[in-house]
Amino acid sequence: MGNRRKSRELAMQALFYMDVNQNDSDELLERFCLNFNFSKKARPFFLKLIKGVIQAKPEIDSIIETYSDNWKINRMACVDRNIMRIAVYELLYCQDIPSKVSINEAIDVGKKFGTEESGAFINGILDSIHIALKKKKIKIETDIQINEIG
């Protein structure tokens, strides 16, 4: 498994942990990190994803809800919503990653960790967001500042 895939999977797990605890503090993130082995190569991208998603979560959640056909973010499966948060963050803020890569990675992680329907659910929403971005129907509002922790 590549470093970026490992980073994405760990980021989804960390965001899931924070989501369930309703706490996205650095202390909770550090507690999560102490329980998992991170390669030196996977950690920087993991932290970029986590910190970026946390900073832009209101904007990301709003975009996901807008393109999810009557699904509220809090009604979605926790795994699915956190996978989509990571992918939407990548689509909005990681210009070095092709959109198709972000979408395909999200679908694959959804199939691995989610339900039988997760891959199709995630694909449908992310594809709609990708099309809207290409048509410039989505404006980026959040300025992301990533600081290292631990």
The pLDDT score that the predictor gives to residue 150 is 46
pLDDT under 70 in the chain at which residues?
Answer: 145-150
Distance CA 150, CA 138 (A): 34
Q: What is the pLDDT of residues 78-114, one digit of tens each?
A: 999 999 999 999 999 999 999 999 999 999 999 999 9
Q: What pLDDT is recorded for position 146?
A: 65
The H or E element containing residue 78 is: helix 78-93
Give the chain's radius of gyration (CA, Å).
14
CATH of region 3-134: 1.10.940.10
List all residues 6 or more positions away from 40 whose beta carbon is below 8 Å from its beta carbon.
none
Amino acid at 5: R
CA distances for 1 relative to 7, 15, 26, 142, angstroms: 10, 20, 27, 31
Predicted TM-score (pTM) of the model is 0.93
